[in-house]
Amino acid sequence: MTTSGELERVILAEGSTAALLAARLGGLVLVAPIYSSRTIPIRARATVLILLTVALLPSVATVTVTPSPVRLIVESGIGLIIGLAASFYIAGATGAGDLLATQMGLSAATVLNPASGESVPILGQFAQLMALAIILSLGGHLLMIEAVSESLAIAPLGEAVTIEGGLLGLVELAGRVFMIALRFAAPIIAILLVGNVVLGVLGRAAPQMNLLMVAFPVQIGVGLLALAAAIPIIGTILGSWPFDFAEDFEHLMNSLVGG
For residue range 47-96, what is the model confidence (pLDDT) as tens digits? 888 888 888 888 776 666 677 788 888 888 888 888 888 888 888 888 88
| Among candidate residues 65, 80, 94, 92, the one with its CA nearest the CA of residue 35 | 80
Mean pLDDT, range 165-172, rounded to an integer: 78
What does the pLDDT average to over 217-238? 82
Instruction: Let me know: does 177 contact 92? Beta carbons within 8 Å.
Output: yes
pLDDT score of 1: 44
Residue 243 pLDDT more than 80?
yes
Determine how many CB atoms are found less than 10 A away from the CB of residue 203: 15
pLDDT at 212: 67
Count structural domains, the chain. 1
Determine the Cα–Cα distance for residues 34 and 45; give it in Å rounded to an integer.
Answer: 10
Q: Which structural domain range is residue 19 located in?
A: 4-257
CB 96 within 8 A of CB 180: yes
Q: Amino acid letter at 34? A: I
Reading phi first (left if > 0) and then psi (alpha if -120 to 50, else beta), residue 183 is in alpha
Cα-based angle 208, 214, 219 (whole degrees, multiple of 5): 140
**How big is the CA angle at 85 (ends 81 and 88), to the nearest 5 degrees?**
140
Mean pLDDT to the nearest integer, 241-252: 84
Q: Judge whether 31 and 77 are in contact, CB under 8 Å.
A: no
pTM, rounded to two decimals: 0.80
